[in-house]
Amino acid sequence: MMREKVIFHVDVNSAFLSWSAIRALSEGAKEDYRKIPCVVGGDESRRHGVVLAKSLPAKKYGIRTGESLFEARRKCPEVLVIPPDFPWYVERSRAMMEILKKYSPDVIQYSIDEAFLDMTGMEELMGPPLQAAYRLKDQIRDELGFTVNIGISTNFLLAKMASDFEKPDKVHTLFLDEIREKMWPLPVRELFSVGRSAEKKLAKYGVYTIGELASMDRNRLVRDMGLPGGVIWDYANGVESSPLTQRDTRDKSYGSSVTTSEDVTDCEDACRRLMPLCETVAMRLRLDSMKVSTITVQVTDYDFRKRSHQKSLPAPTDVTAEIYEAACELMQELWNGTPVRLIGVSGGKAAKEEYEQLSLFHDPKKEKQKKLDRAMDSLKLRFGDGAVVRASLLEQGGGRKGMAKAKLEHKMKGTERDKTGGRAEKGPGKGADGTDTDCY
């Protein structure tokens, strides 16, 4: 008889804000950011600074993740805005993953602040699922200082849905026989993969809850909405017909994007803005001991039209200069003169490299770059995001002088000085280095 699956979904409560609060308290802060109206966000002086994470007191004012800091200030004038610290977030994430690995040999990191654990067959070692989940939740809180929610079910979808129930510091179950009571009464937008567009389409059918979606005719949804219509119908009925997780690490990607404070109107400026994004991606790769084989650059113009371009690399890499060089080439090919507001870089087909392919021609510059990358990572993890800044990035206003420096460094594949951004939570993924930056 096949044993029923047991899946945990572990999700950090307001990860960026919680992790920032822990660091501040360790450095002598008198207030816990989690207990006051507080948000993690970009530079308030910029037009498009956004809320990346919020405290529960801030949430009570109606402040939402993803809205502008201007709007957050309008709702709560006294809200405290703190900058993100992505290297510290990566460190806390890795510490949590180490604890998770003690509970299951099969841990799937879903994002920087959430992961799935396959707990099937672990009862003899860890006890009943509920007991193990509470012990895990409490261990993370006691050892690392932040709280998580844990959802338990028989598949990834329902486990993730369960972890989104009442927060913080909770354990919830959502098994098939609990769907009608716990999930169906929820607004349809709460269902995984149902965005604003799908919500509006479903409203035309008079569908406002997950239960109403589950009772629709599946064939009609597929006919009117295509395959996604069938998937969300399956999800509403607790069936994970389209897998949430990709277990082949070769398909894992690392990315970072920035919404600029003004229109980017020329390719050189766009290339300059790629540098901190490439540094974010490269640093995260090195921290995870991963390398990527493809690079993608994406842009969104002022009319919200998206374009992207991708290329394969000669060999997997985690070197900042190599990622930046590829990104600049892609930007030059992608650029059509249309002003853009969002620029993003991602590395795909990520995998752990147990060895490096040797070249017939030894490149001392590359070895120097790799050593400097590691040194910069160490400094930033120890002293914070602003500990070391690339010279070309000191002139954030643009200017020909700063651009000339960036171009020279690009041509020479020069010294790497990591300046790391962050990721808006779930969507974003879920940081910023001055303007609004998302990492995923």
Q: For residues 182 and 191, is the Cβ–Cβ distance under 8 A?
A: no
The whole-number pLDDT of residue 146 equals 96
Per-residue DSSP letter, 358: P
Cα–Cα nearest to 121, from 14, 208, 6, 236: 6
The whole-number pLDDT of residue 309 equals 92
Q: Give the tens place of pLDDT for each residue, 153-177.
A: 999 999 999 999 999 999 999 999 9
Other CB atoms within a 10 A radius of the CB of residue 187 amount to 11
The torsion of the CA quartet 161, 162, 163, 167, rounded to 10 degrees, works out to 110
Per-residue DSSP letter, 34: G
| Contacts with 425 (C-beta within 8 Å, 6 or more apart), sequence order | 14, 15, 16, 52, 53, 65, 113
Read off the pLDDT of each residue in 71-88 and give the average, rounded to a whole number. 90
Alpha helices in 54-178 (DSSP H): 56-59, 69-75, 86-100, 123-126, 129-144, 156-163
Decide if pLDDT at 392 tops 60: no
Task: Write b or e for each residue in 197-224: b if 16 or more Cβ atoms lie within 10 A of its Cβ, otherwise e.
Answer: ebbebbeeeebebbbebbebeeeebeee
Match 């602003």 to its residue by tokens.
386
DSSP string covering 275-322: HHHHHHHHHHHHHTTEEEEEEEEEEEETT--EEEEEEEEEEEE--HHH
The torsion of the CA quartet 211, 212, 215, 216, rounded to 10 degrees, works out to -140
Name the active-site residue from 27, 78, 91, 114: 114
Q: For residues 111 and 426, is the Cβ–Cβ distance under 8 A?
A: yes
Other CB atoms within a 10 A radius of the CB of residue 268 amount to 18
| Contacts with 134 (C-beta within 8 Å, 6 or more apart), sequence order | 171
Decide if pLDDT at 433 tops 50: no
Q: Give the tens place of pLDDT for each residue, 28-52.
A: 999 999 999 999 987 665 545 778 8
Q: Give the tens place of pLDDT for each residue, 340-381.
A: 988 999 998 887 754 444 444 445 566 666 666 666 665 555
| Contacts with 416 (C-beta within 8 Å, 6 or more apart), sequence order | 279, 319, 320, 321, 369, 372, 373, 376, 390
pLDDT confidence bin for 420, thresholds 50/70/90:
very low
- 219 alpha-carbon distance from chain centroid: 34
Residue 379 Rama label (left phi>0; alpha psi -120 to 50; beta): alpha
Instruction: Give yes or no: 262 in active site.
Output: no
